[in-house]
A and B are shown apart, each in its own frame.
Chain A
């Protein structure tokens, strides 16, 4: 079985400050990890993914994520937050066989001016 935990329901940061949204996972095989963002009343937009290779993955809109195998974590980061980054963020995991992606419950990011 695979699972994802996003330990923070809410993250608040000031504009211009760095942000981190946390994610830990559990999967039986090698993990494929994804981050998505959801704006109100919209679908999910893909930000970035980790498949293999470099542990630091860069994605859309200046976001990046760091894969840590020993801590089974895949935290989303951005060096300088924007007010427009305020949204709901989901971490997802998939094992080697596709089909089912398991999502966390989401973290609401609020960036204040």
Chain B
């Protein structure tokens, strides 16, 4: 049973560039959330996708956008990268969007902006 998979695992970008991160949810899951984890902090909610729509969004600027595909996989796009965007980006999946559902995390994508 495949868990949540993310790619790439590590990447380095220059300020002002754009980046796309990818996520495949755990088998059978239809809901995907993205989190940003800066060094020494807990994960911060970016947004959640369910039925190919953004259902809820955290306090992140419009530079952060996403998409969910019919097969439930998802992408996170960040435009006009800033040094402060350097972080571990975590994808999490669940079955349905009910509050009591457990979300399972991938290993993350480490983004370094130089």
Q: Chain A interface (Cβ within 8 Å of chain B)? A: 4, 32, 34, 36, 42-46, 49, 51-52, 90, 92, 94-106
Contacts and interface: CB of A to CB of B under 8 A. Distances in A.
Interface of B: 4, 31, 33, 40-45, 48, 55-56, 58, 90, 92, 94, 96-108
Contacts, number: 68
The majority secondary structure among interface residues of chain B is loop
Contacts of B101: 98
Given A44-B90, A98-B96, 7 more contacts: A34-B102, A46-B102, A51-B100, A90-B42, A98-B31, A104-B42, A106-B42
A44 B91 CA distance: 10
Contact of A94 (B96, B99, B107): B99
Contacts of B40: 105
